[in-house]
Amino acid sequence: MIIDVHYHFMRLPADDTSAQYMTRGWLEDGAALGLTKPVDEVLSILRNIMDDTECNKLVKRMDEAGIDVTAICVVDDYTPTLSTESLRLMNEICAKAAKKHPSRLISLASIDPRRPDAPALLRTCLKEYKMNGLKWHPDNGFYPNSPEAYAVLKVANEFEIPLLTHCSPLPRSKAKFAHPLHLDDIAVDFPNIEIIAAHMGHFWWHDWAALAQFKSTISGDLAMWQLLAVSKTARFRQYIREILDIVGSKQILFGSDGPLFEPVVSNKKWVEIIKGLTKKGTDGIVFTQEEIDAILGGNAARIFRLK
């Protein structure tokens, strides 16, 4: 089984200027690693991919890539421009899309803990919409171990759902809020919550691994790592082997961060790269089939309690 634990259920703004601004932001990650594509070309591809409110196109691409299950999520950035009612609707639409493909999609709610009545909103998403986890972007301006965050985590702990939380610097966000160190408190204080550090901290992966080797509930996904895998293959292999040697194979999950990077590296290609790690390279680095199976789906199946 192959499970993508990190896919953004979203649409680009209708306004072309705003859409281009967002697309340029996403392309900055690839450009830093030498992967560049024209904004207009990528924008056209993303508009087609994201025009998919029922996720029919997503499931078709999953079939092409060999992905069995995808966790789809929205992102709440608490600002006056996004009302509580709009957020509630975002989560409900995401949940309904997952329900249209019950064997293929699971949905993650997003509730910024700074939002008034955030714990009650999460409870609604879990009880009424039957969502399967919680997605956070603390780099929008909150610490994941703050008192406000803990109020929401108490609900997550009660329902024993996973937390997928952004964990890395980004070009246009506040990196200090997204450092792996803040997850240590959560692991100690909320033992029923499986924590998925999105991107494994990316180039903070040493800090993430330092925690994960002692905290079995702190996992990490490989979303965004496809850019490094394509642009700096030798370094990617080295890093993943070192992570496995430190943490073991039970806390690394496959993720795509789709659809953001699909115009640069398709999910089909990304799956092939991970599968191909079992082939011994000229660097002498070896990955076992058991390690790859755990990364691609075994670990996620355990965390999300999938059959």
pLDDT digits (tens, 9 = 90+) for 176-219: 999 999 999 999 999 999 999 999 999 999 999 999 999 999 99
Least confident range from 33-37, 165-169, 291-295: namely 33-37
Kindly indicate the confidence band of residue 253, based on its pLDDT and cuts at 50, 70 and 90: very high
pLDDT computed for residue 32 by the predictor: 85
| Sheet hosting strand 195-198, strand order edge to edge | 3-8, 69-73, 105-109, 133-136, 163-166, 195-198, 218-221, 252-253
pLDDT computed for residue 33 by the predictor: 87
User: Is residue 159 within a helix (H) or strand (E), and if so which, with residue range?
Assistant: helix 147-159
Q: With 90 as the cut, is the pLDDT of residue 81 above it?
A: no
Domains of the chain with CATH codes: 3-7+56-303 (3.20.20.140)
Q: What is the pTM of this model?
A: 0.96
Q: How many whole angstroms separate alpha carbon 271 and alpha carbon 227?
A: 13
Q: With 90 as the cut, is the pLDDT of residue 53 above it?
A: yes
| Tens-digit pLDDT profile for residues 296-306 | 999 999 999 99
Kindly indicate the confidence band of residue 66, based on its pLDDT and cuts at 50, 70 and 90: very high
Q: With 90 as the cut, is the pLDDT of residue 169 above it?
A: yes
Burial of 132 (0-12, 13-18, 19+ CB in 10 A): buried
pLDDT computed for residue 257 by the predictor: 97
Cis peptide before 162 (omega within 30 of 0): no
Q: With 80 as the cut, is the pLDDT of residue 80 above it?
A: no
Residues 6+ apart with CB under 8 A from 37: 27, 30, 263, 264
Q: Is 208:200 a contact under the CB 8 Å cutoff? A: yes
Q: How many whole angstroms separate alpha carbon 235 and alpha carbon 254?
A: 18
Phi, psi angle pair for 302, to nearest 5°: -70, -45
- The whole-number average pLDDT for the span 79-93 is 90
Q: With 80 as the cut, is the pLDDT of residue 132 above it?
A: yes
Q: With 90 as the cut, is the pLDDT of residue 172 above it?
A: no
Q: Name residue 198's beta-bridge partners.
A: 166
- The whole-number average pLDDT for the span 12-30 is 90
Q: Which amino acid is at 88?
A: R
Q: With 80 as the cut, is the pLDDT of residue 234 above it?
A: yes
Q: With 90 as the cut, is the pLDDT of residue 153 above it?
A: yes
pLDDT computed for residue 1 by the predictor: 95
pLDDT computed for residue 298 by the predictor: 98
Average pLDDT of the chain, as a whole number:
96
Kindly indicate the confidence band of residue 270, based on its pLDDT and cuts at 50, 70 and 90: very high
Kindly indicate the confidence band of residue 251, based on its pLDDT and cuts at 50, 70 and 90: very high
Least confident range from 28-32, 68-72, 214-218: namely 28-32
Residues 6+ apart with CB under 8 A from 70: 3, 4, 7, 58, 62, 104, 105, 106, 258
